[in-house]
Amino acid sequence: MAVSIEDIKKLKELTGVGLTDAKVALVAAEGDFDKALEEMRKKGLTKAEKKADREALEGIIDSYVHGGRIGVLVEVNCETDFVARTDGFKEFAHMIALQVASMNPVYVSEADIPAEEIARVRTEAMESDTLKSKPAEMVEKIVDGQVKKHFAEKVLLNQAYIMNDSQTVGEFLKENVAKTGENLIIRRFTRIELGVND
């Protein structure tokens, strides 16, 4: 089946694979661009998960100031200085700074949430009057759901990505791991808002 060179180039750009791999994916998807992109993303995410154990100590600190009222500093790491200097990596770090400015997360990942904070939210949920009439086996599931919902918007990697709300920031991160071929880590961020004390 013939596929257009424009589609091949577009798929290459979006996934970071070579032209040959992009063409093979499009042929396998019988020219269906969205299907090919989905398959390439799945493969890319699998590769990204394998890279997660590699050390990432290079990178950049990016900043973003919105209207003189909100300021963000974010540290994003990669494995090599070469990748740290690429436009794609710099753009990724800047998009993370924009995300932090816009969505005001508190933690980078679920692992950063203090155990005592999780326990406090869980206790509050357990003491809710609405749970008193529920069967005991349902209460645990309901509380788990409420705790997860409470932290969903507070964890950067779990937030919907502002430029594409069909993916999370965590998925956007993995997509960029696939593109760069290196482990990428959003190490930390600081967000300052004029007149707001933490």
Q: Are 159 and 99 in contact (CB under 8 A)?
A: yes
- Quote the pTM value: 0.68
User: Domain spans of the chain?
Assistant: 5-51, 58-108+154-193, 114-152
CATH architecture classification, 5-51: Orthogonal Bundle (1.10)
Q: Which pLDDT belongs to residue 43? A: 66
Q: Could you give the strand order of the β-sheet that contains 185-193, starting from the edge strand earlier in sequence?
A: 58-66, 70-78, 185-193
User: What topology does CATH give the domain 58-108+154-193?
Assistant: Tetrahydropterin Synthase; Chain A (3.30.479)
DSSP 55: -
Q: Which of 141, 171, 139, 178 is nearest to 157 (CA)?
A: 171
Q: Which pLDDT belongs to residue 145? A: 85
Q: Which pLDDT belongs to residue 197? A: 73
Could you read off the pLDDT of 119-149 as tens digits, one per residue? 898 888 888 777 777 777 787 888 888 888 8
Q: Which residue has the tokens 């396998």?
A: 28
Q: Are 83 and 51 in contact (CB under 8 A)?
A: no
Residues of the chain with pLDDT below 70 are: 1, 13-19, 41-54, 198
Q: Comparing 5-51 with 58-108+154-193, is the CATH topology the same? A: no
